Structures are given as C-alpha cells and as structure tokens.
Amino acid sequence: MHTVVVGTSGVTASDVLAVARDGARIELSAEAVAALAAAREIVDALAAKPEPVYGVSTGFGALASRHISPELRAQLQRNIVRSHAAGMGPRVEREVVRALMFLRLKTVCSGRTGVRPEVARTMADALNAGITPVVHEYGSLGCSGDLAPLSHCALTLMGEGDAEGPDGVVRPAGELLAEAGIAPVELREKEGLALLNGTDGMLGMLIMALADLETLYKSADVTAALSLEALLGTEKVLAPELHAIRPHPGQGDSAANMLAVLRGSALTGHHQDGAPRVQDAYSVRCAPQVAGAGRDTMAHARLVAERELASAVDNPVVLPDGRVESNGNFHGAPVAYVLDFLAIAAADLGSIAERRTDRLLDKNRSHGLPPFLADDAGVDSGLMIAQYTQAALVSEMKRLAVPASADSIPSSAMQEDHVSMGWSAARKLRTAVDNLTRIIAVELYAATRAVELREGLAAAPASRAVIDAVRAAGVQGPGPDRFLAPDLAAADAFVRGGHVVETVEKVIGPLR
C-alpha cells in the first residue's frame, strides 16, 4: 500500500487524495518528530512561567482574559474539545473526515503548534487503523478554523464520542482505539486548541472538488463535441488560431480537446436542406469559452490550495525564534472565496450543457433530428423528461452558486465578529460537483443517441468509441420508450467513474 510521509514543509494534493480516498498509510518523518519536540519544549517553558500566554495558560476566545492555574490546564484542554464537539445534522462523508484529520496532522507536524510527538503519532495511528470520527454537517463558521468538525476528531483521539471502524460500523471511539492497540491521548497545555484551530475541512473538500472537476471539465469537452457533431455544427470555431487571439489558457485547452475528439467526423459542417449555417448557437459555438473560463478558475483555486497546503494554520503559533504569538491565519477567507468561485463556474458549465441537450431535443433547432429523439414521436416521449431532470439539477446548481463567503454571523460574544463560512461553501460545492456529474451524464445520453440517429454519416472515431463504451456500460441506444431512470443511472456512473475521458484518451491520446 502507498505510504505518505509527513514532514515539516506540508504535503501535496496527491497526498491528501491518497489518504482520504485510497486509505494510504501515514508515517511521520524524523524531521517532523524533532520539530514537534523542539516546539513542545518552548510551550513547556512558557507554561512554567507566571505570565499568562494565550492558549497555554488562559481561556479561549471571549474567555481569554482568565489566567488558568497549572492544576486546571489539562482539564481546560479536555473541556475545549468536549464543548466544541457540538456539531449537528447528518454525518459528513468518510473521505472528508480523513482529509480533515490528515491536514490537521500536516499542520501539527510543521512544528509550529507546540503539540507533543505522541499526539501526532496517535493521529497517524488512528488514520492507519481506519478509525473515522463521526463529524456532523453543521458546526463550522470557517473562522478560528473548522472548530466543531475538528473537535469531533480530537474527541476520538481522547477515546470519547463515536467513530466509524474499518468495518464501517459506528461504535464508541474508546472501544475502537483499544482494539487497534492505540492509547487515548491525555492532552496538555495548548494541545486541545491546536487540534481544532485550522481550515482543514474546507481545504480537504477543495482539493477533492478540484480533482473531480478536472475530470468533469474534460468530460464536458467530450459531450460538447458530441453535441456539436449531432447538431451538424461546424468545427471551424475550434481552430487554434482563433483561440490564440484571445489567449486564455483554459479556453485554448478546451477548444483543442473538442477539436481532437471531432477529428475524422463526417457529421460536422453539414447543413439541413442545403441551407448554409453561418454560425452555431452560443451553447455550441461558445463551449470552449465557458468551459475554459471554468478551467482558469480551477487554476486559481489550485494556487490557493497549494499555498494553504504549505501553511501552518494555528493560533497561537510557535515561531522559529521561540516566540509564541497570536494571529488571524485561521480565517478561512482565501479558501472560502475559491470554493464559491468554483460553484459559480460549475453552475455555468451545467447550464450550457443543459442548453445543448434542449437543442438536441427540439425539432425546430436540431437540424433534422426527431422530436425529443423519440422513436415514434407522440406515441413515444423520448428524452423529454430526461431534460426536465437535467433542468432541475441546473436550477439547483444556480442556487448553490450563491456565495456562502458573502455572509458572516458574529460569534463568541463578538470576539469572533467576522467569519468566512468556508465550511458551508465547501459543503455546497460538493453537492454542486455531484449535480454537475449528473448534468453531463444527461447530455452524454442525449448526444450519443442523437449521433446514432444521423444515419449514413460516420461519427468521429473518438465519438464512436464513446458510444460503444456507453452502450457496453448498460446505457441503451435509440428505440421505443422504456423505463429511463436505469439508463440515466448508468450514464451517471460512466461519467462519475471517469470513463468518458478514459475512453477518448485511448483513441486520441491525453486530453488537456
């Protein structure tokens, strides 16, 4: 099994995906263990002094003015975890919790938090044992970190609360730790605070969304090309020289992908009844511009994610010169903004895909295709309601595109008077990515059927490969009406599994 070694300088997006989704094992580097020990010496020295230090010998948030005596400090750290583990609502997904824990471990290993090496080892051991804390949908405002979600994770390390075992069964965390031979941690000064003061949940969801969207944007280029082909559109608008004079990188990549998919098609450039079509509708002609803008948005979001992956987010932090200083680095604004930006871009990609689907089904705009791609229109309804489903998904995508980061609700007696709502932005982006997958699946279903209905004209080799693969995956072709939901589910699974991209790349090589 792949092993991820966590050092002091952060981790990569690939590391996060390997741990969150593939169950990769984790090891701490010798450098990280040494940095943890060195920072802990500084915290211990400060704890022994009479002067109060925030997070070490004081209360938290609006209660930071109280100096806590040494005999109460262990209780203080336990209490912050217990009281902050106040989430509500459904459980979040296992991969999200694993990413959350791993990214917190990444920051702990930076040597900037003052946590002891044994606490970091316990975090790694729990992940390696497949123990996943129960974390709830609601509880984070995206400032002072993802407090409630991280607190539920810290609670598990203490042997309290509930967690999911490697068998998928939720049980008391103490039992799971005992079975795995892991001793619960006894938190000391600053450690409870350090375990729950980061942007790890929203960052983990950003990284996973970017991975999913990369595949979906390539898939959308393929389905857009199939729709252009089915509509007898012109590929001339995809010429590289046209995109070179508006040099947005994503636009050029999207156009190049579509052009490569269409290479060898006998369908493009034909016109109904010999009447020349000077230009196609925007949803066809401007596909690279819309998809390309989304790609460029992803590039910016990746830059933010990379910077955050290299960060040590905690408050207070242990600096290299030995100072322990309060700061505001836990504010989730940088991550929250790009999460919202991606939801906007995803909604627009879904919207333009739906417009192409609608055009394929409308006999007045489809250039000779049967109404709703039906076998016997009137007796058969064809894909009429598949487009309704797609439209409902697009409408939901537009609601999900309303920014969460534009909101702020003051908390902690006005000490935390401006928050990012980054966790909420991440949660709705996950739903948006899910819906975008379904929207692209409906276009794939309609476009493959439409291409097959163009009898006498050969589709591009890449298009033909996609049609054959989709049919082999259980998505049926043209014919009389049938129970449609299973076909749509099969198309969704085909897109979700990355098979659109995989199939095309076997024919034309890597997509951009």
Element (H, E) at 438: helix 422-453
Interhelix angle for 117-128 vs 94-108, to 10°? 160
Q: What is the DSSP string of 384-414?
A: HHHHHHHHHHHHHHHHHTS-STT----BTTT
Sequence-distant (6+) residues with CB within 8 A of 220 are 291, 349, 353, 440, 443
In whole angstroms, give the CA distance from residue 58 to residue 415.
15
Peptide bond into 316 cis (omega under 30): yes
Beta-sheet pairing, 3-6 with 25-28: parallel
* Residues constituting the chain: 512
Buried b (16+ CB within 10 A) or exposed e, 276-312: eeeebeebbbbbbbbbbbbbbbbeebbebbeebbebb
Residue 482 CB burial class (10 angstroms; 0-12, 13-18, ≥19): exposed
| Residue from 54, 217, 337, 445 carrying the catalytic annotation | 54
* Catalytic residue flag (residue 388): no
Exposed e or buried b for every residue in 431-463, given b needs 16+ CB within 10 A? ebbebbbbbbbbbbbbbbbbbbbbeeeebbebb
Burial class of 71 by CB neighbour count within 10 A (0 to 12, 13 to 18, 19+)? exposed
Which has the closest alpha carbon to 122: 168, 57, 71, 173? 173
**Which residues have a catalytic role annotated?**
54
